[in-house]
Chain A
Amino acid sequence: MTSTQLPFTRGPSKAARRTPRRKPRINSAYLFILPSVLLIGVFIAEPIVQSGWMSLHDWTVGEAHHKFVGLDNYTTLYHDSRFWNALRVTVVYTAAVAVGQVAIALAIASRLRRTTWYSALLRTAYFFPFIASLVVSGIVWKFLLDPQVGLVDAWLTDLGFSAPNWLQSTSLALPTVIAVGIWKNVGFTMIILLAGMQQIPPHLYEAAALDGAGPWQRFRHVTLPALRPALLFTTLIATVTGLQLFDLVFAMTSGGPIFHTESVVMYLYQKGFVEFQMGYASAVAWVLFVIILAISALQLRLSRFRDAD
Chain B
Amino acid sequence: MPTDTIRPHTAPGHLGPRKDGPDPGPPAGLRSAALTAVRYGARLGTVLSWTAVTIGAIAMIIPFLWMLGVAFRTNGDLYADPARLWPTHWTMHGVDAVLDQLPFGKLVLNTFVFAGGTTVILLLFDSMTAFALARLKFRGQNVVFLLILATLMVPFQVTLVPVFLTLFHLGWLNSYQGLIIPRATSALGIFLLRQFFMQLPRELDDAARIDGAGDFTVYWRIILPNAKPALASLFIIQFAALWNDFLWPLVVTNNIDMQTLPAALTLFSSQSGVDHAALMAGAAISLSPLAIAFLVLQRFFVQGVATTGIK
Contacts and interface: CB of A to CB of B under 8 A. Distances in A.
Interface of A: 1-2, 4-5, 24-26, 28-30, 32-33, 35-37, 39-40, 42-48, 50-51, 54, 108, 111-112, 121-122, 124-144, 148-151, 153-155, 157-158, 183, 187-188, 191-192, 194-196, 203-204, 207-208, 210-212, 215, 221-222, 224-226, 228-230, 233-234, 237, 240, 243-244, 246-247, 250-251, 254, 265, 268-269, 272-273, 278, 281-282, 285-286, 288-289, 292-293, 296, 306, 309
A288 B14 contact: no
A112 B52 CA distance: 12
A206 B164 CA distance: 58
A1 B132 CA distance: 19
Contact of B210 (A1, A39, A225, A243): A1
B239 to A, nearest CB: 11
13 contacts: A30-B138, A33-B129, A36-B126, A36-B128, A40-B185, A51-B159, A122-B57, A132-B290, A135-B262, A140-B63, A191-B305, A211-B9, A225-B3
Nearest to A247: B246
A46 B165 CA distance: 12
Contact of B82 (A2, A108, A148, A289): A148
Interface range, B side: 35 or more
Contact of B5 (A47, A133, A154, A221): A221
B158 A286 contact: yes
B286 A136 contact: yes
Given A140-B63, A192-B305, A36 B129 contact: yes
Contacts of A247: 246-247, 262
A272 B251 CA distance: 10
Contacts of B124: 35
Contacts of A293: 153
Contacts of B181: 39, 43
A272 to B, nearest CB: 5
Contacts of B2: 224-226, 228, 306, 309
B98 interface: no
B215 interface: yes
Interface stretch (B64-72, B101-109, B224-232): B64-72
Interface string B148-169: 1001011101111111111000
B262 A133 contact: yes
B215 A28 contact: yes
B276 A149 contact: yes
Nearest to B57: A125
Nearest to B69: A151
B162 A46 contact: yes
Interface in B266-311: 266, 269-270, 276, 279-280, 283, 286-287, 290-291, 294, 298, 301-302, 305-306, 309-311
B138 A210 contact: no
Given A43-B182, A195-B306, 14 more contacts: A28-B136, A130-B305, A132-B291, A134-B244, A135-B265, A136-B283, A142-B269, A148-B79, A192-B306, A207-B14, A211-B14, A221-B5, A230-B310, A285-B160
Contacts of A131: 240, 287, 290-291, 294, 301
B309 A33 contact: no
Contacts of B54: 122
Closest 10 pairs (CB-CB, A-B)? A225-B2, A133-B244, A207-B9, A192-B309, A154-B83, A47-B159, A32-B132, A47-B162, A29-B138, A125-B57
Given A125-B57, A204-B10, A144 B158 contact: no
